[in-house]
Amino acid sequence: MQRVGGRSSKKIDFRLICATNDDLEDLVRKGQFREDLYYRINVVPVAVPPLRERDGDLALLVDHFLRNYCAASKKPLKTVQPEVLEILEEYPWPGNVRELENVIQRLVVMVSGPNITAEHLPQNLLQHSASGQEAILIPEDGVDFDAEMERIEIAYLTAALRRTGGKKSAAATLLRLDGQRMKYLCRKLKV
């Protein structure tokens, strides 16, 4: 190999590893990538599918990132609850492995205890998952069903009355309730 501008040849031995998100064959066809360069670097192509298409890899990557970031932060190794892994598996990971790594790093830093639970996950992950929706709806320690239903009824009644300027008959129509039931609920819930 001769350096640009050089006069003598030097023997070199190296391996070039390239990565791209672009379809180089398509770019060559369009004349946007040099064909000779493409054939020089395309010796052993390795296609790595996105994280969302690699079943089983997520748990291994979570474990790897937990070990790395707990060690780097000098914290004891944290564990991830099974429901957290379910939520992570359901998420489409548009940012691929780098996004997963950032989430795990954030959890290591932000979660003070030894266990990472669904409540610790960012909202965008929870909203993409049925398991996440369940975790939001029913916390780990359970929920008082009657109290929750009453809270929801109050919220709907209050919103409907606010929208209709306090007119119970108009609010009843908005909530598709008959007038008698609307009056009963308002008395019962003290709205």
What is the 3-state composition of the chain as percent helix, strand, coil, each rounded to the nearest 5?
55, 5, 40
Domain ranges of the chain: 11-47, 51-137, 145-189
Any idea which fold 51-137 has? Helicase, Ruva Protein; domain 3 (1.10.8)
What does the CA dihedral 153, 156, 158, 159 come to, rounded to 10 degrees?
170
Q: How many Cβ atoms sit within 10 Å of the Cβ of residue 8?
A: 6
Per-residue pLDDT of the chain (191 residues; tens, 9 = 90+): 777 878 888 888 888 888 888 999 999 999 999 999 999 899 998 888 889 898 889 999 999 999 999 999 999 999 999 989 999 998 999 999 999 999 999 999 999 999 999 889 988 888 877 665 666 666 667 778 888 888 888 888 888 998 899 999 999 999 999 989 999 989 998 88
**CA–CA gap between residue 120 and residue 88 (Å, rounded):** 12
Q: Is 140 exposed, middle or buried (0-12, 13-18, 19+ CB in 10 A)?
A: exposed
